[in-house]
Structure 1
Amino acid sequence: MVVAAGSGSRLGHAVPKAFVPIAGLPILGHALRGVLSSPGVSEVVVVAPAAHRGEAQDVAAAVCRDVGSHADVTVVVGGAERGDSVAAGLAGLSPEVEIVLVHDAARCLTPVAVVERVVAAVAAGAVAVVPGTAVVDTIKQVDERGLVVATPERSSLRSVQTPQGFRREVLERAHAVSSAATDDAGLVERLGERVLVVDGDARAFKVTTPDDLETAARLLGMPAT
């Protein structure tokens, strides 16, 4: 599924983040292009704000035509919180789907190779898989006063991206317990299940600020709008 229900207020646009254009195509369109170009993806549920459901359907149809995908694409309405939106996406999947990817539309330039690595790892037996990149900055843990309490060894740290992949029954079980986490892998970890990290990609960064829009446009070799 592609989660595109966030408001994206930090981008400073009047429309939700997923519908802000980069190089003439909405962020959602770029995200779908990467997902739908993967031969391992046969079904996609887009989770969108209610007011933009029709627009999301139009974007998805256009991308399917452009990349020649025959995947089934459905658009459902998201919830108040991210966990609610993922739950809505799960409910929109066909019963026969066993491997579920959860992808943030804001990570719209994620390469197809990352999608395929995640799918392959779950198909090979992992119950939960996340793409990640090595942390290059020194990380400090601070208390409520801003004082440093620890410096984690960065060689063991990873900056986690999406899509995250799961055996469906594990993801559903995790959401049945609680949907309160910054990512779905965190919910699965609480079940005591192991989460595998595969190689991510610097291009899978999250578009959050106007500067991120400019960065994405440069990577595409185009003006931002």
Structure 2
Amino acid sequence: MSDESRPHRTAAVIPAAGRGVRLGPGAPKALRTLGGTPMLIHAVRAMARSRAVSLVVVVAPPDGTATTEVRRLLDEHALPERTEILVVPGGETRQESVRAGLDALPADITAVLIHDAARPLVPVDTVDSVVEAVRDGAPAVVPALPLADTVKEVEPGRPGEPEPVVATPVRARLRAVQTPQGFDLATLRLAHEKLARLSGDGEGATDDAGMVEQLGVTVVVIPGHEEAFKVTRPLDLVLAEAVLARRRATDAY
């Protein structure tokens, strides 16, 4: 079958193996509840609501029982039936977990989204826009927002001590990147393979788009959404609860 006639299927990979220490002690960040439902469930629903996504791979913590526990958690909540949900064990680092998710994809997947479980409220329109940009030919796509604050580059010092400013980047050229990040699957696999060979673990980049950039491949930015913020600190959880309450009151979410 030629590339032109081959069906194009898109999958989403959600690494959910981190503990999220900045939210404080307790359950892993992906399992913290938002409106009474674990954030992971919200994130899976956000991907599955897109009709362009036919498979969601959830990457669980690497310990022996986590995969079974995550599978049971998913089975306890209503999810779109048209979307296949797969759970696989991850690795010790985020990049290892993403690679585990990529390795689990079937042969007919041509595009992949990588989405943070800690971004539970990304709108489906944003997901669809990322998929559309990849299908239109972009090898790597990230949703992003302009920055509201001026950013300073500093010389890092000891915690609590003053740090000297070394540069002030032009704010108009800066964007705060969100997820899902979308990729041509072959391009993302090549990035993971090449960087893992060069550095041993592929941890030189802070996100998957950064890994693709290191191949010399152009990453394009599309408009993100203010509700696709990352829930990292307790205050973020308060904001997420407020957004979810508004959605449920106005959109029958």
Q: TM-score range by the shorter chain?
A: over 0.9
Q: Does residue 1:147 correspond to 2:164, yes or no?
A: yes
* 1:154-186 CA distance string (max 9 Å, x none): 111100000000001100000012221210000
Could you say which structure has the larger radius of gyration? 2
CA distance in 1, matches of 2:214, 2:81: 36
CA distance in 1, matches of 2:50, 2:96: 26
CA distance in 2, matches of 1:93, 1:152: 39
The structure with the largest helix share of the pair is 1
The 3-state SS of whatever aligns with 1:221 is: helix
Q: Does residue 1:99 correspond to 2:111, yes or no?
A: yes
Structure 1 residue runs of 5 or longer lacking an equivalent are none
Q: Does residue 1:11 correspond to 2:28, yes or no?
A: no
The 3-state SS of whatever aligns with 1:2 is: strand
State the partner residue of 2:142. 130
Q: Does residue 1:217 correspond to 2:241, yes or no?
A: yes
Q: Does residue 1:183 correspond to 2:200, yes or no?
A: no
Runs of 4+ residues over 4 Å off in structure 1: none
State the partner residue of 2:52. 40
State the partner residue of 2:71. 57
State the partner residue of 1:168. 185
Q: CA RMSD in A?
A: 1.4
CA distance in 2, matches of 1:100, 1:62: 26
The 1:17–1:144 alpha-carbon spacing in structure 2 relative to 1, beyond 3 Å, is closer
Shift of 1:61: 3.3
Question: What TM-score, normalized by structure 1, do the two folds share?
Answer: 0.93
**Given residue 53 of structure 1, which amino acid in structure 2 is its aligned partner?**
T
The 1:12–1:144 alpha-carbon spacing in structure 2 relative to 1, beyond 3 Å, is closer
Identity of aligned residues (%): 47
CA distance in 2, matches of 1:123, 1:62: 33
Structure 2 residue runs of 5 or longer lacking an equivalent are 1-12, 158-162, 196-201, 247-253
State the partner residue of 1:201. 225
